[in-house]
C-alpha cells in the first residue's frame, strides 16, 4: 500500500519517459515485409499508396493561403491545391503525413530512441551539422516535388506498380547520395 501511495505522489516523470533503455531496431527484412503489407493495405483499402512530400506542399500552401490568398489564386500550381474555396489540407496525404510523424515518435519512444542529440562526426560543429541537415532537407524536398514524389510516393508506391519513372527516380536518389557521400564523408570521420 505504501508503494502505491508513493507512486501517486511522484506523478508523471518526463525523465523516465525520455531516458528509457535503447531497444534494438527491428530486423530490416522484417521491417521491409511489414512496410510491404502496409503499402498493400493502403492501396487495397483506400486506392492510394504512401507519400509525404505532397503533404508538406499542402501544409506550406495552407500557410501561404492564410497570409496571401490572392497569390495562391494567381499561381497555377497552388491554385490546384487551394484556389478559391479549396482547403489544401483536405487530402489523403495530410493524415498519412501526421500519422507517420506520430507513429515514428511513438516507435522511438517505445524503443528508447527519443533523445535530444546531434549525430555528427568529430570534425564538425553542431551548428554546421544542423545547417547542412536543413539545406539537405530543403534540396531533397524540392527535388521530390520536381520528381512528383518522394521516396515513399515514387519509390515505394510507384515502384510497387512497376512504374519506370519511379524506378528511375529511386535509382537517381541512390546514385546522387552515393556520389555526394564522397564529398561529405570527411565531416563524419
The mean pLDDT of the chain is 86
**Ramachandran region of residue 57, left (φ > 0), alpha (ψ -120 to 50) or beta?**
alpha
Among 87, 88, 104, residue whose Cα is nearest residue 54: 88
For residue 10, the model assigns a pLDDT of 57
Q: Retrieve residue 125's grid coordinates.
A: 560543429
Q: How far apart, in Å, are the Cα atoms of 11 and each of 4, 19, 183? A: 11, 16, 50
Using the structure block, give the residue that is written with the C-alpha cell 527519443: 114
Residue 2 has pLDDT above 80, yes or no: no
**pLDDT tens profile 148-170:** 888 888 888 888 889 999 999 88
Q: Can you say whether the dihedral through the CA atoms of 111, 112, 117, 121 is positive or negative?
A: negative
Residue 3 has pLDDT above 60, yes or no: no
**pLDDT tens profile 59-94:** 999 999 999 999 999 999 898 888 888 899 999 889
For residue 13, the model assigns a pLDDT of 67
Pairwise CA distance, residues 53 & 121, whole Å: 28
Among 152, 176, 135, 137, residue whose Cα is nearest residue 35: 152
Helix (H, G, I), strand (E, B) or coil at 163: coil
Residue 11 has pLDDT above 70, yes or no: no
Residue 25 has pLDDT above 70, yes or no: yes
Give the domain ranges of the chain.
Answer: 13-116, 118-189
Looking at residue 155, what DSSP letter applies?
I
Amino acid at each position: 500500500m505504501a508503494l502505491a501511495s508513493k507512486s501517486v505522489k511522484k506523478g508523471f516523470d518526463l525523465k523516465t519517459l525520455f531516458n528509457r533503455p535503447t531497444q534494438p531496431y527491428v530486423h530490416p527484412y522484417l521491417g521491409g515485409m511489414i512496410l510491404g503489407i502496409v503499402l498493400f493495405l493502403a492501396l487495397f483499402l483506400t486506392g492510394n499508396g504512401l507519400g509525404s512530400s505532397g503533404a508538406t506542399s499542402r501544409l506550406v500552401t495552407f500557410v501561404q493561403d492564410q497570409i496571401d490568398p490572392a497569390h495562391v489564386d494567381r499561381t497555377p500550381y497552388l491554385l490546384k491545391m487551394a484556389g478559391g474555396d479549396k482547403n489544401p489540407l483536405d487530402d489523403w496525404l495530410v493524415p498519412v503525413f501526421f500519422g507517420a510523424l506520430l507513429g515514428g515518435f511513438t516507435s522511438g519512444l517505445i524503443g528508447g530512441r527519443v533523445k535530444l542529440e546531434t549525430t555528427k562526426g568529430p570534425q564538425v560543429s553542431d551548428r554546421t551539422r544542423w545547417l547542412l541537415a536543413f539545406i539537405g532537407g530543403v534540396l531533397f524536398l524540392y527535388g521530390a516535388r520536381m520528381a512528383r514524389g518522394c521516396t515513399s510516393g515514387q519509390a515505394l508506391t510507384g515502384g510497387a506498380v512497376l512504374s519506370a519513372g519511379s524506378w528511375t527516380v529511386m535509382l537517381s536518389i541512390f546514385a546522387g547520395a552515393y556520389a555526394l557521400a564522397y564529398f561529405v564523408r570527411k565531416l563524419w570521420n
